[in-house]
Amino acid sequence: MLVSLTVGKVDAGVAVLLTQDNRLIEFPSVLLPSNITSGSIVDITVARNHGAEAANIAAFQALQKRILNTYGIHTPTPPVLRLRNATQTSLVLEWDPINLATASLKSLSLYRNGSKAGSIPRPLEMLSTKISGLAIHTEYTFHLVLRTTAGTFQSEKLVCRTHKMTDLSGITVTPGIMPPQQKDALAAALDRIGGKMIDTVRIDTTHFVCTEGRGPLWEKAVEMNIPVVRPEWVDACEAEGTIVSVRGYYLNADPKLRQIGHGPASQQRQRTSTVSTTAPSTHTGSQTNLPSRAAEPSEPSVPEAPTTPFPGAETNGHAKESESQDETPPPPPPKDEAPEKTEEPEEESKGEEPNGTNGTEPASHDENEQLEEKEAPTEKADTSDVSDQKKPKGTEGDEKLDEVPL
């Protein structure tokens, strides 16, 4: 398209052109020939550039695709929370690396039982955390909340439970410097109780076991405030069947501080030893070795076969009648030293007859021991008075009772 225009005025930057119908058009003077002056006529050709248009459209589409692939397809993903290790009072949680796509990170927070427990420092570098001070054998619920410039994303809720005191599977040991045989024994003991052994000091390491306090692993364990104990601690846990206090198993601890005997295994051993000690030993006639508890009352009945596991065992705190008859009673006190009887001792003597025995049988050792405890505060009492109180009613002169030592 050819257009003829008349130059009306030419300035340094803009030239005024006039159309044939006297319309004014401002035109850049730099686009006119250098010898143009006022009154000159110029021809301007106007045409559509299709190639340039196609190039511009292609460039715009490429830009749109790049924006879509960068910001429209990849978005931040919710964090994935897992349980790495659990003990009686602590939990170690871990998660996958945070995927932010093209967004910027604002914060990463940990929630426990629906309440915020705290923010994770350096969430792009730290992938685990340890929660301590928890209750024994208690259930907890955790989840992570990721806040970014592209939105807020929440992980699935993780339900965890701390261990019982008898559950030793949470013990994770890092071995230090110790003899090879002792290290092999440590690995075997951990395998028996369900514990784990790792070669490095990590966040889930519960105890550092060694016999010498030196080396880089030991230094790292001390820096992370991990208990450093001897291998005997694992043996004690296995023997007790429960978590044993580490106080007596530190490297420089006194072995006397090691308290063994409070776990289920020790209680079972104590019950076993108690049952075994119920079998009587050879009777020596000493009253100090007899039980001090009072005899339980029982109704007289026909004598039955003994139910104790061994011959000569005592039943219900009394020795067998044969043993009491074999003992030779001491001689009675002189008659001239016997004090006058009172009504109160006679009433007491009526209730001191042995269970299932008549008034002619000697008193049992348990009753002698009980009378000894009653008469112990009054050291000045006469032995003859005690012997008179021991006599059952109606048996004076028939049987002679044992004297009770004061």
Rounded CA gap, 18 and 6, in Å? 5
**What confidence tier does 210 reach under pLDDT thresholds 50, 70, 90?**
very high
What residue has token string 């002792």? 182
What residue has token string 């990463």? 108
The pLDDT value given to residue 260: 58
The pLDDT value given to residue 368: 52
Residue 83: is its pLDDT beyond 60?
yes
Q: pLDDT above 90 covers what percent of the chain?
A: 45
Residue 243: is its pLDDT beyond 70?
yes
Strand-pair partners of 95: 81
216, two tokens: 């880089």
Pick the CATH number of 172-264 from 3.40.50.10190, 3.40.50.970, 1.10.287.110, 3.30.450.150: 3.40.50.10190
Residues 168-193 have pLDDT tens digits of 999 999 999 999 999 999 999 999 99
**How many C-beta atoms lie closer than 10 Å to residue 160's C-beta?**
18
The burial class, CB within 10 Å (0-12 / 13-18 / 19+), for 236 is buried
Residue 280: is its pLDDT beyond 90?
no
**What confidence tier does 71 reach under pLDDT thresholds 50, 70, 90?**
confident
**Same fold for the pair 81-161 and 172-264:** no
**How many C-beta atoms lie closer than 10 Å to residue 313's C-beta?**
14
Rounded CA gap, 130 and 29, in Å? 76
Which of 213, 204, 210 has the alpha carbon at shortest distance from 172? 204
Rounded CA gap, 205 and 250, in Å? 16
Q: pLDDT above 70 covers what percent of the chain?
A: 63
Residue 333: is its pLDDT beyond 60?
no
DSSP class of residue 244 equals P
Counted residue by residue, the chain has a size of 406
Q: Domains of the chain: which residue ranges?
A: 2-45, 81-161, 172-264, 336-406
Q: Which residue has the higher pLDDT, 396 or 370?
A: 370
The DSSP annotation for 93-133 comes to EEEPPP--TTS-EEEEEEEETTEEEEEPSSTTT--EEEE-S
75, two tokens: 């978005």
329, two tokens: 């009673």
- Number of helices and strands (H, E) in the chain? 9, 16
356, two tokens: 């299932």
What is the arithmetic mean of pLDDT over 211-236? 93
Which CATH class, in words, describes the domain spanning 81-161? mainly beta
